[in-house]
Amino acid sequence: MKILLASLCLISLLVILPSVFSASSSSEDFDFFYFVQQWPGSYCDTQKKCCYPNSGKPAADFGIHGLWPNYKDGTYPSNCDDSKPFDSSTISDLLTSMKKSWPTLACPSGSGEAFWEHEWEKHGTCSESVIDQHEYFQTALNLKQKTNLLGALTKAGINPDGKSYSLESIRDSIKESIGFTPWVECNRDGSGNSQLYQVYLCVDRSGSGLIECPVFPHGKCGAEIEFPSF
Ligand code: 5GP
Ligand code: 5GP
């Protein structure tokens, strides 16, 4: 009986321990970031409504959605540390830039803090082993500046004018200007047309530079997609 009990204990330890360890390491580590920017026109012209932030209508430019730690196998960690809540006092020097570059479009209208808090808690807490809260937001702001997505597209004659452009020409113009292949996510406007919604670029673990994406997300755009105005 004792032997049976002891071996049962041993077996349960062998089963439980690895999952405990992998849970803790997977929540603290990651391979690269997706840096995701959203086109406000495509957030606002769907069947769901959008709301401008308290500070007014954002610029007709891509806005930051988030900086998301990811694994090379396509999975990702989330909500890694509830002991580090979002604290806007740690980013008070960034708030003016945040309002401009990371505007919220969700309803009801807000300052943006709820969006930033969500992004920090879901994604930012998973890169704490590399960058702290201030660096997390600063890194995203720097990346937005550095990439100038709208500039890359307009330089190639791709403008937010409600016309359709080939997905290939959109990808190529970003690659040409920024140097790395983006991944384009589409959604549908109120009439069901496929349109340019978000652009994903990949960033190394330290947050310091763009890289070619180790893996792309799933999903599909049409071959021709709309670029709505905002
Ligand atoms: P959706 O299901 O709309 O594509 O994504 C919903 C949310 O899940 C995203 O806003 C983001 O927070 C998270 N998410 C979706 N895909 C990925 C991904 O590939 N990597 C990471 N890190 N987060 C993702
Ligand atoms: P994710 O899809 O990143 O997990 O979650 C996005 C969350 O942030 C949602 O709860 C959404 O309502 C909120 N949110 C606030 N403002 C925005 C915005 O401008 N764009 C997007 N995509 N989500 C926003």
Report which bound ligand comes closest to the CA of 46. Answer: 2
Q: How far apart are CA 174 and CA 141, in angstroms?
A: 19
The pTM score is 0.89
Total count of residues recorded for the chain: 230
**Atom 12, ligand 2: residue with shortest CA distance:** 106
Active site residue 119: yes
Question: Residue 115 Cα, ligand 2 centroid: separation in angstroms?
Answer: 6
Domain boundaries, the chain: 32-227
| pLDDT score recorded for residue 26 | 41
Q: List pocket residues of ligand 1, CB cut-off 6 Å.
A: 34, 68, 70, 76, 122, 217
Report which bound ligand comes closest to the CA of 187. Answer: 1
| pLDDT score recorded for residue 22 | 41
Question: Residue 8 Cα, ligand 1 centroid: separation in angstroms?
Answer: 40
Across 23-52, b (16+ Cβ under 10 Å) vs e yields eeeebbbbebbbbbbbbbbbbbbbeeebee
Instruction: For the chain, 230 residues long, give each residue's pLDDT as a single digit of tens.
Output: 454 444 533 444 444 444 444 444 444 599 999 999 999 999 999 999 999 999 999 999 999 999 999 999 999 999 999 999 999 999 999 999 999 999 999 999 999 999 999 999 999 999 999 999 999 999 999 999 999 999 999 999 999 999 999 999 999 999 999 999 999 999 999 999 999 999 999 999 999 999 999 999 998 899 999 999 99
Task: Say whether domain 32-227 belongs to CATH 3.90.730.10.
Answer: yes
Whether 215 and 74 have beta carbons less than 8 Å apart is answered as yes
Q: Choose which residue among 70, 76, 187 to substitute to test ligand 1 binding: the one with the highest number of ligand atoms within 8 A of its C-beta.
A: 76
Q: How far apart are CA 173 and CA 176, in angstroms?
A: 5
| pLDDT score recorded for residue 6 | 47
| pLDDT score recorded for residue 111 | 97
Active site residue 65: yes
| pLDDT score recorded for residue 216 | 97
